[in-house]
With several copies, the nearest count.
Chain A
């Protein structure tokens, strides 16, 4: 048991803090802090700055840009990034397809994709969910049929986040319909400019365009774009989803919004309201417990496999993210009605953003393994129920 960071880790943290707050453009970080939607260019610019400094994919194998940090260092990196308002490296690249390719791809596929993936030269989209395969992902129906040295892909993916920016999409496709549903799935990389591939926007309840449907009609995909072995895709997906959960607890970002919310509360004369103060104090404590749990769990997952308690992080992390967005909604009060009024409104930006952000974050407990799925994992895997 040791509270204090080692001198080395303290220096590491300081170095990151300095880098993030001086090297990533203030304009990008301010957009994050104001909870605005970022442009594609802002994502790309930020990730390239990180990648140039070796801060984009530290958890990858060293030969592909990894840094061999301790789990605690990774945690500090993640927290400092969020704290400074630096957009995290695109999860589809850095946390999803990258690690899968690095772990299961051929040398050729690694060379072809990993450097471009780390640098966001390729923007990856995720093609997992389908209209009838949500929490029950394994019942997916998009097919890839071998035809010479190509696969021919037909079907539909949905909830493809930021798919409108995508260059390539990594997909789970059914390559054998005869076997038990988990056994006939493969992991395929598809160029989104391929003929027959169409991206259609889905409007969300906050009025934004963040997710998409992706339709495949006789899309021809070179066979060499298969990652790993045929029909082993479910294993790779489980590997990936395990990674996804660890990154998904947005502790630092939620802390940052809560710190902002205190300023907002003061602005609207509510910070000295005892009920508001108590609500904030309780949220601060809840977040503290979550942050400490993230550190504790990180330290226990040194073998690279996610600790089963990572479901705790996802579940509680999204609950608190939503609770803080609800606080902001309440602080904004009537000004939240001006949500789409733009700069012409008197209401300050934070209060206008509060309404769509609150609604948008309803997704947090649904996407990336719903909170029901997380409870199921905890009950079964940890409690043996």
Chain B
């Protein structure tokens, strides 16, 4: 087992860090960007496409680069570090991953090439009222209409659901199971309303009223593929969260050494520095587990569900701790939108809301606890 990155991976990290750091290194720019629509920087998105980053996980024949989860994780971590609001994980990893896995060659070439080129923004409309991260759909139903299909019902929340040019939509099939469909942004019967998430992201309510849709690939039950894609997304989002947490800790440590109270800098107060030390511990543990899950996804895909759940639990635990303590250690300034730290906390919350809280992941692990004698990470 080896946690070190090779030179090419290192170069990728530096290229991405350079690009997004230049754009969002000044937090005020990030704040301005998320205040306007579509909530991210279209130009930066193009630059990421040019850099090949949007095509990383896809096969070359589909218009991608043929890299893997480790490279995706590097990109996600660097985006997380500066709270870049670009929908990389949602569009490329989740929606793109589903298109790549299930799509016919024609669908793949229609969706993935343009996605990788930054021409088409893709999203996966899946969550529904009352759903809690399960891989199935109930509220949106698919019905046959001649040779084609129509979807009816409401999806909410859908990441960047209004800006998206193309949507993949999960829907309950007439004979049971959950199918996956491609709905174009201009389809009849499709209406969409956007709103801000707590971290400045975008989420939509998507209403479908007998909306024409094309099954992805051969059609049929896609539950297992959806579940796999959600787990791969958790791994990528875990990398993104690591970047955010590392940044939060760096900012907090910097604040402790510069802010004065009672005539001395805050790092004079041992009760505060010890808590910062505990944050570092949490961060290191999270890096290890997320790194491992990323390698599991790359080399031992059968264990992806277990590894992604384990990494997510740790990410959620550390995210709460670091998110809460980073604000507390700042004091009042940590509560203000002008200052960067609170947005880190908010972003960690939004990631959990999207992909599952610690309680959710722990519940999943608890039911399997009697199935194994011990957890052995070494393969």
Report A's interface with B, CB cutoff 8 A.
1-5, 13, 72, 76, 129, 132, 134-136, 139, 158-159, 202-207, 211, 255-256, 258-259, 262, 266, 268-269, 271-282, 284-293, 295-296, 299, 309, 312, 315-316, 322, 326, 329-330, 332-342, 344-347, 355-356, 358-359, 362-363, 365-367, 370-372, 374-376, 378-380, 382-385
- The CA-CA distance from A258 to B353 in the complex, in Å, is 21
Residue of A nearest to B358 (CB): A330
Say whether chain A's binding surface is mostly helix, strand, loop, or mixed: helix
User: Which residues does chain A contribute within 8 Å of B144, judged by CB atoms?
Assistant: none
**Closest CB in chain A relative to B38 CB, distance in Å:** 15
8 contacts between A and B (CB under 8 A): A5-B379, A136-B263, A262-B373, A281-B362, A285-B313, A329-B357, A341-B156, A359-B198
User: Which residues does chain A contribute within 8 Å of B154, judged by CB atoms?
Assistant: 346
- The CA-CA distance from A47 to B292 in the complex, in Å, is 34
B291 contacts partner chain A, Cβ-Cβ < 8 Å: yes
The answer to whether A292 and B377 touch across the interface, beta carbons within 8 angstroms, is yes
User: Which residues does chain A contribute within 8 Å of B338, judged by CB atoms?
Assistant: 202-203
Given A330-B357, A334-B132, A337-B350, check contact A385 B375 (CB 8 Å).
no
**Closest CB in chain B relative to A309 CB, distance in Å:** 6
The answer to whether B292 and A383 touch across the interface, beta carbons within 8 angstroms, is no
Which 9 pairs from chain A and chain B are nearest by CB? A205-B342, A3-B295, A341-B195, A292-B288, A379-B273, A203-B337, A289-B285, A378-B277, A281-B365
B142 contacts partner chain A, Cβ-Cβ < 8 Å: no
User: Which residues does chain B contribute within 8 Å of A202, judged by CB atoms?
Assistant: 336-338
- The CA-CA distance from A355 to B70 in the complex, in Å, is 32
Report B's interface with A, CB cutoff 8 A.
1-6, 9, 70, 127, 129-133, 154, 156-157, 193, 195-198, 203, 205, 249, 253, 256-257, 260-263, 267, 269-274, 276-278, 280-281, 284-289, 291-292, 294-296, 298-300, 310, 313-314, 320, 324, 327-328, 331-332, 334-338, 342-343, 345-346, 349-350, 353-354, 357-360, 362-363, 365-370, 373-375, 377-379
**Closest CB in chain A relative to B110 CB, distance in Å:** 29
The answer to whether B4 and A1 touch across the interface, beta carbons within 8 angstroms, is yes
The answer to whether A2 and B2 touch across the interface, beta carbons within 8 angstroms, is yes
Given A1-B2, A295-B1, check contact A385 B331 (CB 8 Å).
no
Given A3-B300, A295-B1, A385-B253, check contact A334 B353 (CB 8 Å).
yes
**Closest CB in chain B relative to A35 CB, distance in Å:** 15
The one of A206, A315, A344 that contacts B205, using a Cβ cutoff of 8 Å: A344
User: Which residues does chain B contribute within 8 Å of A277, judged by CB atoms?
Assistant: 366-367, 369-370
- The CA-CA distance from A287 to B375 in the complex, in Å, is 9
Pick from A266, A280, A383 the residue with the most CB of B within 10 Å.
A383
- The CA-CA distance from A385 to B264 in the complex, in Å, is 13
User: Which residues does chain B contribute within 8 Å of A4, judged by CB atoms?
Assistant: 1, 299-300, 379
- The CA-CA distance from A347 to B342 in the complex, in Å, is 24
The answer to whether B157 and A1 touch across the interface, beta carbons within 8 angstroms, is no
